[in-house]
Structure formats: C-alpha cells, structure tokens
Amino acid sequence: MLKSQLPHYSALEPLNYVNPSLFLLTHAKPLLPLRSGPQRQSPKQNLYSHRLRLPARPAVVKASSVASSTEKPLSVKVLVTVQRALGTGLYLERGLDDIADLFGKSLVVELVSAEVDPVTGLEKATIRHYAHKEDAEGDEITYEADFKIPPDFGVIGAIFVENEHHKEMYVKDIVLEGHPIGPLHFVCSSWVNEKDLPDSKRVFFTTKSYLPSNTPEGLKKLREEELKALRGNGVGKRESHERIYDYDVYNDLGDPNKNLEYKRPVLGGKPFPYPRRCRTGRPRASRDPVSESRSLDNYVPRDEAFSALKQATFNASSLNSVLNGLIPALESVSTDNDIRFPHFPAIDDLFDNGVPLPPSKGGWKLATLLPRIIDTIVDSAEDILRFHPPETFDRDKFFWFRDEEFARQTLAGLNPYSLRLVTEWPLKSKLDPAVYGPPESEITGKIIEQQIRGFMTLDEALRKKRLFILDYHDLLLPYVAKVRKLKGTTLYGSRTLFFLHSDSTLKPLAIELTRPPIDGKPQWKKVFTPFWDATSVWLWRIAKAHVLAHDSGYHQLVSHWLRTHCCVEPYIIASNRQLSAMHPIYRLLHPHFRYTMEINALARQALINANGIIETSFSPGKYSMEFSSVAYKEQWQFNLEALPADLINRGLAVEDPNAPHGLKLTIEDYPFANDGLILWDAIKDWATEYVNYYYPDPSLVKSDEELQAWWTEIRTEGHADKKDEPWWPVLNTPEDLISIVSTIMWVTSGHHAAVNFGQYSFGGYFPNRPSIARINVPVEEKNKEKWEYFVKKPENVLLETFPTQLQATKVTAVLNILSSHSPDEEYMGKDMEQAWADEPFIKGAFEKFSGRLKELEGIIDKRNADPSLKNRYGAGVAPYELLKPESEPGVTGKGVPYSISI
C-alpha cells in the first residue's frame, strides 16, 4: 500500500467534515510515486499528483471527536503485537524512539470501513489514533489504542499501521476487541518500514476472505492498490526494505568479475530453458554483460525474509555458519584438496574422533554457532568437527555394502523419484548416434536371463512388470566429455536394471556404463553384474559407486532443487503479484510458501553458485546447473508433479477405481508411494472442501480475474520457456483449481520432505551415496599398471573413486544442516491459520485434515513394525519415516513442514 494513498491528518487536531479539495491543499502529505527507493517527488509535483488522484476517503477523523446524535459510539481496543527484530538493540536514534514510545507517538493505527458512504458512494473517512506501548514480554511488544467508532461506520475491513520509529518493525498480528461480533483478527506477519521510507504505512485486511467479485465496496481500491504496489514497475535495483515481486532469469550463478573461470551460462530462455527467479535489479557484471553482478545482499521481498523468530533459530544461522565459517575453516587446514581417505576406519573417524579445526577468528567460536556438530575439547579449547552417526549407519555399519540395500533405497531412500518400469526392449538410446555412438544397450536378454535364472524368462519378466530401471544414460552422456576435462572427476552415462521379487524386494541385475566417442576414441560401454568371483564383485562395487554418484547428483539437482525449490518460486511470485492477501486461494497457499524465496536466495549465493558446494562436490561439477536445465527441458511437466500422475508416468502405478487411492501400485511394498498417497489424499480432500466452499458456483472460477491472472502468469512468465506446452491444465472449474492447488501443496510439503529430510540419514555416511566419482573404472582403458594395482588393492581403487576427504567432510556438514528441523518448524496440519479458524466451515475442514495426518502417524508406525513389509522392516533396516507428519527439532529423518524453508 502506498504510504499516502489516504489523507494523513494528525489525530491531535480537532477535525470535522471538510471539503476534500480544501483538505488536499491544506493538510495532505505528499503522495509517493510508484518507484523504487526512498526518493520523493518535489512539493510541486506532489501537489499536482494530488489534484490528479483524489484520495479514496474525504478525511481522516480524530477518534476522540466522533459523535452521533442518536446512538452511542462503540468503544473498541486495538492490540498490536510487534516482535523485536534482531539487531535493533542499539542504534543512533534509539533514544528518540524510546521517548516516542514513552509519549505514545511511535505507532499510528487507522481503522478502515469496508463500506462506502450511501450518499456520496465514496469510501468512508478512516479513524486514526496513536497506539501506546503497553507491555513488553520476551521478544514481543504490545501496543494499544482505544477507539470510539460511530454507529454508521460499518464493518471494519482493514487497518493501517504507520511506523514512526527510526527502525523497521515486525508486526505479528493485530486484534480488535470490543466488537459486537467478537474479536477481529488481522494476521500481519510482516515488516513495516521505518519513517521516511516507503511502506512505513501499511494496510492489513481482516481474516475474512473475499473473491474479487465479492470484495466490499470500501476495500476494492485498497485491494487493487496493494497488488499494484507489490508488482512494482520492473525497473531499478531492488532495495532490502522493498516488497516488490518480479521475474528474472538465472543470470547470477556465475561470478565473472571475480574470475572468468566462474562465468556461467544464463538459465532461462534459449538455449537453457529454466523457471524464473525473483528479480533483484543488480547491475550487470563488468566482465560479462549477460551476467548479473553478485552481492552478499541478495534481495528478496521483505516479507519473504526470515521472521525475527526464524532468524533466531538454528537452521538459518547454522547454514550460514557452515557455508561462511566452517567450510572456509576446513579448506584452510586442508594441505591437499585431492587427498582421499586412506582406509575405511578413517571414514569412521568423522564420527568417532572428528576433525580438528583451526582457531576461530574474530572472537567467535564455531562450536558456539554449531553446537550439534562441533565439540570443544575442554583441555585445549580446540574445536573438533565431529558428526553424530546417521541412523542407517548406527543400525548397521555395513548397510551401504549390501546390494539389497542399494535396491531398497530406490523405493524407501532419499531419491524415490527415479525408478521406472521397463516397458520397451531392447533398451535403446534416443541420442544422435552420429555424435554419441551406437544407441543399442549392451544389456542383452541373455545377461538378464542369466541373472533371473530360476525365476522366469525375460519375456515373462517384461509381461509381468518385473523389470525396473534407473536410467541416467541419455541425460548424462552429453556431459561426459565436458566433465572429464575437469580436474579430479569423471562421468559416464549409466543404466541400472532391477528385478522385482514376489515379496516386493528388488534385486540388482546389471549396470551399464557408457563413454561416448571422445578424443578420437570410439564409444566404450561395459556391463557389470553381481557375479561371485572376486574380480567381478569388486568391479560391480566400483560400478555401483558410479551409479550412486549419478543418483546423488540427479537427486540434488533435479528431484530436490529443480522440482521443489526452483519450480515453486514462480508460484510464490505470481501469488503475491496477482492474488490479494484477502483472496481465499492466497490464504490457502501462503503457508506453503513461507521462507522459500529466502532459502533459494541463500542457495544461489553459496550452494548452487559457481565454485559452490554443488559444483565442487557433486556430479557433474561445473555443469551441474546447466544439467538441471536440460532435465527441466526434457522431463518437467506441471501435470506430472502430482504424486498419482508421477507414479503412473513412471509405470509404478495404474489407475484402478477399486484400489485404495484409485491406484494399483506395480510394487506393493513401495514405502514412499504408500505413505505418500495417504498424505496426497488428505491434501486433496482438504483442498476440495476449501475450494468448493469459496466457489459454490463453478462459473466463479472462470470469472475470478485475480485467479485467472495468477494462473496465466505462472505459465507465461514464471515458466515462460514452457508457456506453449499442451499439457498445462486449464483453469475453468473448481475441479481444475483443486487439482492445481493440490499439486502445489504436495510439492512444497510431501515431495520436498521426502527428498530433503533424509539427506543426512542416507548421505551422512558417504560411501552409501558418494556425491561424486573421481576416477574411471579400471577396465575402461587397457593399462597394465592400473590393472595390477586394482587386482592387488581393489579397496584402494574404490576409495579413490569416492569423494576426497575435503569433499566428503564439506558435504556431510551441509547435509546435516539441510536435514534439520528448526524448533519453530511449521508442520502441515498442526497449527491452524487464523483465517481458517475464523470461518467455521473451513475450521471444521482443517480439523478433519489435521486428524487424518495424525492417523497417518500411526499408520506409518504400524507399517514400520510389520515384518512382511521387507522394504521398511528388517535386521539393521532403518524405518521409513520421511512422510511422518510431525517431528522433534534436529536431524530426525521425519516431519513434513508446510513449506520449503531449508
């Protein structure tokens, strides 16, 4: 809301009705232009602006002077809860602000009627008063204001809050007490700028939700103006205090000004299609005109930044401490970045003895900032990086070694999104054979039948849906030559085949690694199988390490980053630009969007950036983000992001109206799918009741201009590179809307939880999921010396294939933080939004939804205790709990928050 959209008149001056034109010339504050930054127009320009744009209301009425000839004014109390912001303990003007608080001159509250004047048809005059600081307990401060509301004022639909402090304030909520229909709630959860900056005067609406067509007349202009302010004008550098949402391409991942080696291609547009991110407006890099310059201040709209409470909890601060403190410390003590672990007991030392860290600089200690993973040895006051053993490793130190566990984790592990049913035989690449060599796979029917001998023939296995594949062949093969030019890493295209037993367990059958024609050498491909002679067994283990590195890279870049963090950001931008805060769909989705833009900005700064953690420690190195763009182009479709559609698309389920959830799973004991479908059904049923309540007439969906603009903008701007795809759902009916919002709600909650909060459990002991493979398999080239070394020391070759000590330690630290829940985590279905609680039908629907999630907790516990479900129960097997709705703080391997906040 623009600061001076309404006339600004002191509540201390007596005021009766005045002529609007005379009021403008004598009392109005200048109207701020639609522009970025704190600049103001000249007085002459402002006066002219007022003449062009008359205020929405004729006057601001002093609260104490309201009178009525027939009825008494209504006495109400407004309570404004403000949360202390970090870093506001001492500042230059603090004394002035304390004095203003003492005299009750620091916060102005203004009541807005939802009705218009029946005579003039104009919005009614607002009622304005200072709020006095009444109470300060812990991190919260309460301001109070007493109002007398005239009988003809009508329903209160909004409140203005104006901050007269010299520092911004975080307004948590506002409650109006004394109203005949009960307390009125205004959920703010928003930063209000300090005086003399735009947005120091903000509008907040009640929790009553309205479609645009049902908006009370007195609130229509405010609704429109607030959205207009949030869209901005698309130019200029965004400042940290602004709330403007706009789109841009990913042109800020590189840092060519620092080093031309850090130049990276723009993601978004041709040739690398990509979702859009939030526009920051930073200037272009001086050494590369297509790249945006980098800054430590990575703009996100002010209300997308972590709240004061979130800032104070360990997740946000810990991730910063790891990226900006711990990792530089580890790099400073590493004498050789290429040193491998000398033996497996040295890997165990990460959990037993830890890694000594250099003395902390600047008077702070990493052990204080990261108490969960860093210990301090009392005798020497030395900081030691020591990890807690992941549950998988704690239950069975050799879990990672077993083929059965390798297969089980495709169904109940960190990346349950890649396994597909084999529907065509023989396997064949779709890449250009003139560039990449013969397309036919070397995995023949003979090899498969040799592995499944005694069970069935190949034809039977295909017909009975018993063959499954992890297929990273065509996605990775174009990057093999590029990646092999990088130091300390290698790459293949890969295929891995599995056979489904009747008890729903999978047996690995074969791994194929492929190198395309490179450096004058022809295509090379090799099939590895789990034979029983020593040489074949070790080659199989090394081939598995390569496949796991491929799966780790795909998981991190596609299943995790692309499909959740990255593809969700356009939904958030479009929601804030096109859906009013009082729109019911905005209020349904808003909990699913909290803090995602902030964590995405942090990722662009230090995780997915040039020479960041992903590039230096994961396959495919510096081409990682470019690779995720290729996956977006080839694989991502909005209509396949819903869980049932995803399962059907991968051949893991077929539609069956007689089966639970309307789907028959191809693999009955598929923990991710079984738990996920219960969660999906609960989400969709909650969305169905919610949408049908607000759209009782199907025509309301098509006629809702905000909703239609929102969906159009998601497709044409947020995902502009796919705007013409035929698979985008239409939005004409409530059923269409239910499907769309259910998909978004699932991706931000269940999908993200399934691929995020198990990262430390499955990747903390890195041999289970090496993030990168560093050397070629020993049979690729005929090198007598290397072959003899492999025959004599196969364990050493496996250790050399694994990440280096520095890579593994850095990745383990980051995975530990990314897998953690904050103490203030907002779990789906646990706490009810005030807007839902204030609408009885919606409150009942949410309570039903919450109850179903509590039932899911018990169902998951029961399943994990069932010996017949071998993919989630067994000797040394960690239970599958990633979709268990609630969790304790820390690394737990369970818990489904509403949003992507870490």
Poorest-pLDDT segment among 358-362, 764-768, 779-783, 818-822: 358-362
CATH 3.10.450.60 maps onto the chain at 393-557+757-821
pLDDT band, residue 307 (cuts 50/70/90): low
CA distance 578 to 718: 12
Check pLDDT > 70 for residue 42: no
Beta-bridge partners for 250: 267
801 to 326, 687, 769, 785: CA distances (angstroms): 25, 48, 12, 17
Check pLDDT > 80 for residue 878: yes
pLDDT at residue 167, rounded to an integer: 87
CA distance 749 to 596: 12
Q: Do the Cβ atoms of 517 and 532 come closer than 8 Å?
A: no
What Rg, from alpha-carbon coordinates, does the chain have? 30
Check pLDDT > 70 for residue 360: no
Residue pointed to by tokens 């090198």: 783
Share of the chain above pLDDT 70, in %: 86
The residues that are catalytic are 560, 565, 752, 756, 902
Helix (H) or strand (E) holding 269, with range, is: none
Residue type, 502: S
Q: Which fold has domain 74-206?
A: Lipoxygenase-1 (2.60.60)
Coil, strand or helix at 433: helix
Poorest-pLDDT segment among 334-348, 393-407, 757-771: 334-348
Residue pointed to by tokens 């759209």: 695
pLDDT at residue 369, rounded to an integer: 62
pLDDT at residue 377, rounded to an integer: 53
pLDDT at residue 416, rounded to an integer: 98
Average pLDDT, the chain: 88
CA distance 193 to 167: 7
Check pLDDT > 70 for residue 650: yes
Cis (ω within 30 of 0) for the bond into 426? yes
pLDDT band, residue 385 (cuts 50/70/90): confident
Token pair in block for residue 441: 């796979």
- What does DSSP assign to residue 306? P
CA distance 570 to 828: 22
pTM assigned to the model: 0.91
Residue type, 689: E
Angle, CA 898 vertex, CA 892 and CA 902 arms, to 5°: 55
CATH of 393-557+757-821, one of 3.40.1260.10, 3.10.450.60, 3.40.640.10, 3.30.360.10: 3.10.450.60
pLDDT at residue 710, rounded to an integer: 98
CATH 1.20.245.10 maps onto the chain at 560-748+829-869
Q: When comparing pLDDT for 373 and 225, which is higher?
A: 225
* pLDDT (tens digit per residue) in 482-533: 999 999 999 999 999 999 999 999 999 999 999 999 999 999 999 999 988 9
CATH 2.60.60.20 maps onto the chain at 74-206
The whole-number average pLDDT for the span 828-845 is: 96
Check pLDDT > 60 for residue 25: no
Judged by phi (left if over 0) then psi (alpha if -120 to 50, else beta), residue 269 lies in left
Check pLDDT > 70 for residue 372: no
pLDDT at residue 6, rounded to an integer: 39
Residue pointed to by tokens 């009021």: 23
* pLDDT (tens digit per residue) in 623-638: 999 999 999 999 999 9
CATH of 560-748+829-869, one of 1.20.245.10, 3.10.300.10, 1.10.150.130, 3.40.109.10: 1.20.245.10
161-178: buried (b, 16+ CB within 10 Å) or exposed (e) per residue? bbbbbbebbbbbbbbbee
pLDDT at residue 162, rounded to an integer: 94
Residue type, 755: V
Cis (ω within 30 of 0) for the bond into 198? no
Q: When comparing pLDDT for 352 and 357, which is higher?
A: 352
Beta-bridge partners for 77: 146, 177
Give every CB contact of residue 341 below 8 A, 6+ residues apart in sequence.
347, 799, 802, 805, 808
Q: Do the Cβ atoms of 739 and 729 come closer than 8 Å?
A: yes
pLDDT at residue 383, rounded to an integer: 79
pLDDT at residue 55, rounded to an integer: 37
pLDDT at residue 676, rounded to an integer: 98
pLDDT at residue 37, rounded to an integer: 35
Share of the chain above pLDDT 90, in %: 77
Q: When comparing pLDDT for 560 and 200, which is higher?
A: 560
Token pair in block for residue 525: 């491909």
Check pLDDT > 90 for residue 893: yes
- What does DSSP assign to residue 49? H
Poorest-pLDDT segment among 345-359, 794-808, 866-880: 345-359
34-55: buried (b, 16+ CB within 10 Å) or exposed (e) per residue? eebeeeeeeeeebbeebeeeeb
Judged by phi (left if over 0) then psi (alpha if -120 to 50, else beta), residue 320 lies in alpha
CA distance 149 to 17: 16
pLDDT at residue 3, rounded to an integer: 38
The whole-number average pLDDT for the span 815-839 is: 94
State how far Cα 676 lies from the chain centre: 18
Token pair in block for residue 112: 């807005």
pLDDT at residue 789, rounded to an integer: 97
* pLDDT (tens digit per residue) in 76-135: 999 999 987 655 555 556 666 666 667 668 899 999 999 999 999 999 999 999 999 887
Q: Which of 665, 661, 668, 660 is nearest to 650 (CA)?
A: 665
